[in-house]
Amino acid sequence: MSTITDQLIKFARATPPEDALIMMRLSLFDWAACGVAGAADADFADFVAAQLARGQGPATVIGGQSAPAATAALINGTLSHALDYDDTHFAHIGHPSVAVLPAVLALAEELDAPFDEVIEAATIGVEASILTGLWLGRAHYQIGYHQTATAGAFGATLATGRLLGLEPKELRHALGLCASMASGLKAQFGTMGKPLNAGLAARTGVEATLWAQSGMTAAKDGLAGPLGFGPTHHGQAAEIKPGKGAWHITTISHKFHACCHGLHAMLEAIGDERLSAADVAGIHVRTHPRWMSVCNIAEPTTGLAAKFSYAQTGAMKFLGHDTGAIASFTNDICRDAEVLALREKIKVSEDERLSETQCEVSLTLHSGGLRRLRHDLMEPMTLEVRAEKLGAKAVSLLGDTRADALWQAAQGESLRDLTDQLVIS
């Protein structure tokens, strides 16, 4: 009987469908915009400098330096998740691109790989990370593991293995090695440790494949075998079907608010509704139970923690603050008297009738009225609309000229054109 390891090894040689490749290029554009903007975060400057001090290499580091592939993957994975503004997939609740793309791009520069092969490998890796997350199941996530870091590391390994052209036996060892390195906890949410989780996953993908290529061996089935990753990390061993039907990457969810994706259904439900504390007797936010331990910080005191708070971001949105702007999430906004007054009136509770992509907001007005606002992030969005929204997001992060140049590179045929856009002049 084949295991997930067998299935992933076979899947590494699959041919991605066109719609999956199109979505991958959109995610590449979004990932790069988030990464360049994230590199401007001074909080990570010392971390980046410490990694770069270890030596130079052929891979581009976001910002303009260069480093060995594994180091570049670590830095770029961390920086591109620093703003928590990158894509998500709700099938397993993970951020696929920040784990996979830094690993693939770093090795691709070392190999001088054709850009279309880079896109194909990244598509395989992102899909594999989602499949691995589905195989691990919700119990793995709910107990406290960060799927971006765990499932993402296996996706990064499969992607880099595809790019390197590893033989099935080598890829099996690479996945086995990854099983000993994949790690990351939800306890890091709201701290710098969360984006580091993504960087560690990307670095693991690079190292596991290079070690396997050099002859390092590992357990025959480090994922599903006895005492493997799944059995020891609360994996549910759910059935997966790689490459069967529509690929999961085609339903990836991009962020249009600069905070945890668990908050986005609420923010979309609020939309253009504007209220102050004087207008309402109370606001009741109902969400899926899984988000209660992820993004329900009741009284955040920092801009970073605010990105994981229903009450804070809900109050900001109702008061007209731009939740799509990175600059809105500051320490000062957590002390703003008007925001605090409204924040105190927001109650958050779990509702098992809602899916993880749905949210309902009930407003009790002083005028006696009662209103209900609702949104589902899985509502269909055409590729054209998605591209337009991602373009507007990139402009807000980088400005018109830079966003346009990045778009052209992500849709083009040159790896060098893309990596040139990661340099901050």
Q: Is residue 120 part of a domain?
A: yes
Number of domains in the chain: 2
Q: pTM score, two decimals?
A: 0.89
Beta-bridge partners for 266: none
In this predicted model, what pLDDT tens digit does every residue of 71-121 receive, in sequence order? 999 999 999 999 889 999 999 989 999 999 999 999 999 999 999 999 999
Q: What is the DSSP code string of 291-310?
A: GGGTSB-SS--SHHHHTTBH
243 and 165 in a common domain: yes
Which residues, including other chains, have CB under 8 Å from residue 265's CB and lie 6 or more apart?
287, 357, 358, 359, 375, 376, 377
Q: Is residue 254 part of a domain?
A: no
3-state secondary structure 69-114: HHHHHHHHHHHHHCCCCCCEECCCCECHHHHHHHHHHHHHHHHCCC
| DSSP H or E run through 283 | strand 280-287
Give yes or no for a contact between 280 and 365, defined as CB atoms under 8 angstroms apart.
Answer: yes
27 and 102 in a common domain: yes
371 and 277 in a common domain: yes
Q: Are strands 370-376 and 346-350 parallel, antiparallel or unpaired?
A: unpaired
Tell me what the mean pLDDT of segment 410-421 comes to. 97
Give yes or no for a contact between 141 and 169, defined as CB atoms under 8 angstroms apart.
Answer: no
Amino acid at residue number 399: G
Backbone angles phi, psi at 211, to 5 degrees: -65, -45
266 and 184 in a common domain: no
pLDDT recorded at residue 40: 87
Residue 36: give its domain's CATH number: 1.10.4100.10
Residue 292: give its domain's CATH number: 3.30.1330.120
- Distances, alpha carbon 412 to alpha carbons 29, 108, 394, in Å: 11, 16, 17
Percent of the chain with pLDDT over 70: 100
Q: Is residue 270 part of a domain?
A: yes
Q: Is residue 404 part of a domain?
A: yes
Looking at every residue in the chain, the average pLDDT score rounds to 96
In this predicted model, what pLDDT tens digit does every residue of 307-331 receive, in sequence order? 999 999 999 999 999 999 989 999 9
Q: Is 40 in a helix, a strand, or coil? A: coil
393 and 349 in a common domain: no
Percent of the chain with pLDDT over 90: 92
Q: How far apart are alpha carbons 25 and 250 in whole angstroms? A: 11
Amino acid at residue number 349: S
Q: Is 364 in a helix, a strand, or coil? A: strand
**389: burial class by Cβ within 10 Å (0-12, 13-18, 19+)?**
middle
Q: How far apart are alpha carbons 170 and 160 in whole angstroms? A: 12
Tokens 């591209």 belong to 387
Q: How far apart are alpha carbons 230 and 241 in whole angstroms? A: 17
Q: Is residue 253 part of a domain?
A: no
Amino acid at residue number 417: D
349 and 319 in a common domain: yes
CA atoms within 13 A on the CB side of 181: 25
Q: How far apart are alpha carbons 93 and 422 in whole angstroms? A: 27
Give yes or no for a contact between 259 and 294, defined as CB atoms under 8 angstroms apart.
Answer: no
Give yes or no for a contact between 97 and 403, defined as CB atoms under 8 angstroms apart.
Answer: no
Query: pLDDT tier at 370 (50, 70, 90 boundaries)?
Result: very high
Q: Is residue 256 part of a domain?
A: no
pLDDT recorded at residue 189: 87
Beta-bridge partners for 59: 67
240 and 365 in a common domain: no
Q: Is residue 172 part of a domain?
A: yes
Tell me what the mean pLDDT of segment 109-136 comes to. 97
Q: Is residue 425 part of a domain?
A: no
172 and 275 in a common domain: no
Tell me what the mean pLDDT of segment 125-150 comes to. 96
231 and 179 in a common domain: yes
Residue 1 pLDDT exceeds 80: no
pLDDT recorded at residue 42: 85
CA nearest to 161, candidates 116, 203, 213: 213
Q: How far apart are alpha carbons 79 and 249 in whole angstroms? A: 22
Range of the domain at 73: 4-248+383-420
Backbone angles phi, psi at 66, to 5 degrees: -135, 155
